[in-house]
Structure 1
Amino acid sequence: MQTTIKKSLLSLLFGGLGIGITEFVMMGLLEDIASDLSIDIPTAGHLIAAYALGVVIGAPLLVATASKYPPKRILIGLMVLFTVFNAFTAFAPGYTSLLISRVLAGLPHGAFFGVGSVVASRLAKPGKEAQAISIMFAGLTIANLIGVPLGTYIGHHFMWRYSFAIVVSVGIVTLLALKLWMPSMPVKHAGDLKTQLGFFRRSEAWLIVGMIAIGTGGLFSWYSYISPLMTKVAGFSESSMTYILMLAGLGMFVGNLAGGRLADLVSPAKASLILLVAMAAALVAQRYLSVYPIPSLVMTFVLGATAFALAAPIQMLMINTAKGSEMLAASVSQASFNIGNALGAFLGGLPIAMGHGYTSPEWVGAAMAAFGALFALAFILQQARKSPAPTVTERIQRTPRIAEAAEAEAPVF
């Protein structure tokens, strides 16, 4: 049984790998695509925004539409769409068709992670749910560690379309893995769409969305401008950026697994608060250490680790809070993450445009992470107010040693 569970989670990891490559490789291929299609780089940059738009639209829409089907069938259907739309990207003849293909390719992204998160938590042993989810998100970190640098290299030295052919290949492998390794699960009837959307009438839902959309935006304030930060401030050559991005990817991989363990240890809400505070502190540290090559590399690893350590705790927090609407809520958290992507990149670029230098986005990112921490703190305080304080008897029963001592000292009649 243990082997089956491991293979099941591995199939979700493959899906995360393919999604991670197609989302992030575009950033490294903009110049190649712009040259091939005879457009400028800012116009090519719209392809990144188009993908994020697809995620925001597709995450809740596809989950709400498919919620009546078994999870395995939903995951396979989403991966079919993902593979077909990325094939469309690889063969798109012009800019307009490529732009449309990127919107379509983004549609299954959030839905896959949303459904996959719930499936991973159901496959996990009790108390190990967040760690199981982190295995799925490990695919994203492996994409940043290996897949994106490889795709960028192939795009630079051969043809950018081959990079998306790799994505299609990963999609096919994921389909086979899901078909062979993912066990069939019964449908959990969550009610009609109106009932599921009722979760978003609760303040807790919007506290989590705010935590994600604003707090994780701190990551993208830094990561969107990591190249000029490391080349123009830290003094590295442009040819070193591939290795620097791999170092950030290694941090993401390590941090993602550690974040799952932390969430299972202290609770997802507390883990999110701790990590958002740590991210804010790390961004401030990078602001001052980026002028020194070695410390800036250390902070690159630390920031990658801290940022992606949030993935599993936040996803688990949304699932735990949205009883009866887990898949829809988990997919919305992915849409919120992409809002944070766009928001962080936009706000982080403003001080650069004002002439404050390439270290200024770190201040923006630190502020966004700090605001995200405030949302997490507000969520924790709200939950504490709703939970009644345990009685003395309940506290004794929850603490085995105290219960044993009390029983030993109890008078015998």
Structure 2
Amino acid sequence: MTKQLFPLALGGLAIGTTEFIIMGLLPDVAKDLGVTIPVAGHLISAYAFGVVVGAPILVALSSKFPPKNILIVYMILFTLFNALAILTPDYNTLLMSRFFAGLPHGAFFGVGTIVAIKLAKKGKEAQAVASMFTGLTVAILVAVPIVTYIGHHLHWKYAFGIVSILGAFTIFFLYLYMPKLKSLKTVTFKEEIEFFLTIKAWHILTIVAIGFGGLFAWFSYIAPLLINISNFDPDKISYLMVVAGAGMVVGNILGGYLADKRNPIKVAIYLLSLMVIFLILVFFLSENQILSIALTFICGVLAMSIGTPINMVMVKSAKNSEMLGAAFIQAAFNVANSLGALFGGFPLLFGLSYNYPALVGACMAFIGVILTFAFYKKYKKEEF
């Protein structure tokens, strides 16, 4: 990773930390603010909704400016709204801060994706994008467990204080290391948005929303799966989450490498197909603790390896709309998160065991395979 890409990775670390810490701190937040845990769970949805709303709007409003300035402004907004969570006097204020903190998420990664590609050596573009997402994987592997521990044992507001500090460091290193590139926008907003009125654009976004939803159907219920099916002690779950995080770190590197060496559409088909197989294995084999650990790692690898290839498909498809396309992809990932958690929870409502969300995830990933294969057949003559 070059020093020019380092601020993007650091921003990914800050964003990944704030996105996932709330899940582990829900009981603490609920108790402190006098709400139930299900109500506190709306803090997760508020952030995701902020990502979906903010990604296209912020990119559309700011893409005519130099990307260095844009990224710094996004991180200022991110830092301020996470700092607001420290000062929040009640649940409603925290809910608002979570929504506004989510607004720059997709926009940062959208602009960052194109900047990473512009800064990369020829033939290394996907690996440069993967470098930016290294921060996100490190957040899952290291930062989230540590910050969650601090927030639980001291006060949950300390967690958002740490996130704000990470945001401030990102602003500093963006100013220090990010080169002054010219505006990346070469067309009018009307021309830029035209791509997203096509079937092709929504085909890609549907692949993400449904196919990647399969990954989140598994990941959303991984803790109760490991406790109730694999019979791990609840105290061991944090360590097992590190196994999943380590897999994601490996997967991020693998996805970037494969997307540079092969057609990214084919790579996405192969990886989603493997996800179908391994989620089915999770359903059948999770009672065995050794196999359960191995499957947790492998599914972590697959979960993160598909992200960069599908990002490259969007960027190469959205000619003159690359930033907006990359931002829309981030919005679609958050839709996938919500759909995966929703559909994965349906079997549990009917009293089925905690390995069934993985089976639902396999079905969603299989639909993703079909959609991706259909995309490849339709557009295989185009250069990806």
- Out of 102, 120, 124, the residue aligned to residue 120 of structure 2 is 124
How far off its partner does 1:190 sit? 3.1
8 Å Cα contact 1:155-1:163 kept in structure 2? yes
How far off its partner does 1:203 sit? 2.1
- Out of 164, 168, 180, the residue aligned to residue 168 of structure 1 is 164
User: Which residue is equivalent to 2:315?
Assistant: 319
SS of 1:185 mapped into structure 2: coil
- Out of 319, 327, 336, the residue aligned to residue 340 of structure 1 is 336
Q: What is the alpha-carbon distance in structure 2 between the residues aligned to residue 38 and residue 181 of structure 1?
A: 44
How far off its partner does 1:202 sit? 2.3
Q: Which moved more, 1:298-307 or 1:185-194?
A: 185-194
Mapping for residues 28-43 of structure 1, pairs under 5 Å: 28-43=24-39
User: Which residue is equivalent to 1:363?
Assistant: 359
How far off its partner does 1:201 sit? 2.3
Equivalent residue letter for 2:178? M
Mapping for residues 5-404 of structure 1, pairs under 5 Å: 6-384=2-380
User: Could you give the per-residue CA deviations for residues 122-147 of structure 1, whole angstroms, max 9, x where no partner exists?
Assistant: 11111111000001111111000011
Q: What is the alpha-carbon distance in structure 2 between the residues aligned to residue 61 and residue 94 of structure 1?
A: 28
Runs of 5+ in structure 1 lacking a partner?
A: 388-413
Q: What is the alpha-carbon distance in structure 1 between the residues aligned to residue 294 and residue 165 of structure 2?
A: 34
User: Which residue is equivalent to 1:390?
Assistant: none
Q: What is the alpha-carbon distance in structure 1 between the residues aligned to residue 382 and residue 139 of structure 2?
A: 40
**Are residues 7 and 386 of structure 1, via their aligned partners in 2, closer, same or farther at CA, if it must alter by over 3 Å?**
closer
Q: What is the alpha-carbon distance in structure 2 between the residues aligned to residue 92 and residue 7 of structure 1?
A: 36
8 Å Cα contact 1:9-1:120 kept in structure 2? yes
CA-based RMSD of the aligned residues comes to 1.0
Q: What is the alpha-carbon distance in structure 1 between the residues aligned to residue 274 and residue 53 of structure 2?
A: 31
User: Could you give the per-residue CA deviations for residues 103-156 of structure 1, whole angstroms, max 9, x where no partner exists?
Assistant: 000000000000000000111111111000001111111000011101111121
8 Å Cα contact 1:137-1:311 kept in structure 2? no
Q: What is the alpha-carbon distance in structure 2 between the residues aligned to residue 296 and residue 384 of structure 1?
A: 37
Equivalent residue letter for 2:292? S
Q: What is the alpha-carbon distance in structure 1 between the residues aligned to residue 197 and residue 84 of structure 2?
A: 38
**Are residues 203 and 108 of structure 1, via their aligned partners in 2, closer, same or farther at CA, if it must alter by over 3 Å?**
same
8 Å Cα contact 1:207-1:378 kept in structure 2? no
Equivalent residue letter for 2:90? G
Equivalent residue letter for 1:120? A
Q: What is the alpha-carbon distance in structure 1 between the residues aligned to residue 147 and residue 153 of structure 2?
A: 10
Q: What is the alpha-carbon distance in structure 1 between the residues aligned to residue 178 and residue 98 of structure 2?
A: 28
Equivalent residue letter for 1:311? G
SS of 1:358 mapped into structure 2: coil
Q: What is the alpha-carbon distance in structure 2 between the residues aligned to residue 366 and residue 82 of structure 1?
A: 34
SS of 1:299 mapped into structure 2: helix
Equivalent residue letter for 1:288? F
Q: Which moved more, 1:348-357 or 1:183-192?
A: 183-192
Equivalent residue letter for 2:56? P
How far off its partner does 1:174 sit? 0.6
SS of 1:8 mapped into structure 2: coil
Runs of 5+ in structure 2 lacking a partner?
A: none
Q: What is the alpha-carbon distance in structure 1 between the residues aligned to residue 262 and residue 122 of structure 2?
A: 14
Q: Which has the larger radius of gyration?
A: 1
Give the TM-score normalised by structure 1. Answer: 0.91
Paired positions, count: 383
Give the TM-score normalised by structure 2. Answer: 0.98
How far off its partner does 1:204 sit? 1.7
Equivalent residue letter for 2:308? A
Q: What is the alpha-carbon distance in structure 2 between the residues aligned to residue 376 and residue 265 of structure 1?
A: 19
How far off its partner does 1:375 sit? 1.5
Q: After TM superposition, what 4+ stretches of structure 1 lie above 2 angstroms from structure 2?
A: 384-387
User: Could you give the per-residue CA deviations for residues 5-55 of structure 1, whole angstroms, max 9, x where no partner exists?
Assistant: 701111100000000000001100000000111111000000000000000
SS of 1:6 mapped into structure 2: coil
8 Å Cα contact 1:16-1:137 kept in structure 2? yes
Equivalent residue letter for 1:226? I
How far off its partner does 1:385 sit? 5.3
SS of 1:153 mapped into structure 2: helix
SS of 2:5 mapped into structure 1: helix
User: Which residue is equivalent to 1:406?
Assistant: none
